Amino acid sequence: MTTMTEIQTTQVYQVFIVASPEQIWEAITNPEFTQQYFYGARIELVNDRRIAHGPGGELWGDEAILESDPPRRLVHQWRSQYDPELAAEEPSRVTWEIEPQEGGVSLLTVVHDQLEGAPKTAAGVSGVGWMRVLSGLKTLLETGKPLQG
């Protein structure tokens, strides 16, 4: 059976992590952490921008922060600057929601939406793209080590 897959203009990813909201916030906004699970990207929040640099110091992203409510909510624009073809598309939006649960567990939800003007980005980040990031983030926070491979 062949199923046609449409471009997903809203993508939702969710993961439980044994960590406090503060620890998760730190892990998504501190370049020392992000480089260990976000494809090597060093990500930091500078004023109202979310800046990402590659391992060699090259600029991978410089996007507007739309909302910041540490340690619970971060909303920023997304443009895939690591690839010129993707970078030429319309910016999309990424929302990080961190909700504390019982027993020292937090629920992290990542919503990547407003992808209507960025079909190639939508296809590129969907599935494995965000899953690797979130799986790596969970492993790093729970074991202190980056995901192998």
> Does residue 138 interact with another protein by CB under 8 A?
yes
Distance CA(117)–CA(126), nearest Å, equals: 15
Residues 2-21 that bind another protein (CB under 8 A): 3-6, 8, 10-16, 18
Please say which residue, 59 or 105, places its beta carbon nearer to another protein: 105
Four-CA torsion 112, 116, 122, 127, nearest 10 degrees: 60
- Order of strands across the sheet with 49-53? 11-17, 106-113, 92-100, 73-78, 59-69, 49-53, 42-46
> Does residue 67 interact with another protein by CB under 8 A?
no
Stretch that binds another protein, among 30-38, 52-60, 69-77, 141-149 (CB under 8 A): 141-149
**Quick one: which of 48, 69, 83, 101 contacts another protein (CB under 8 A)?**
101
Distance CA(64)–CA(144), nearest Å, equals: 30
**Quick one: which of 109, 119, 123, 146 contacts another protein (CB under 8 A)?**
109
With residue 22 as reference, give the H or E element that holds it: helix 21-29
CB of 67 to another protein, least distance (A): 17
115: left (phi over 0), alpha (psi -120 to 50) or beta: alpha
Distance CA(105)–CA(100), nearest Å, equals: 6
Residues 18-57 that bind another protein (CB under 8 A): 18
**Quick one: which of 30, 36, 114, 139 contacts another protein (CB under 8 A)?**
139
Binding site for another protein (CB under 8 A): 3-6, 8, 10-16, 18, 101-103, 105, 109, 111, 127-128, 130-132, 134-135, 138-139, 142-143, 147-149
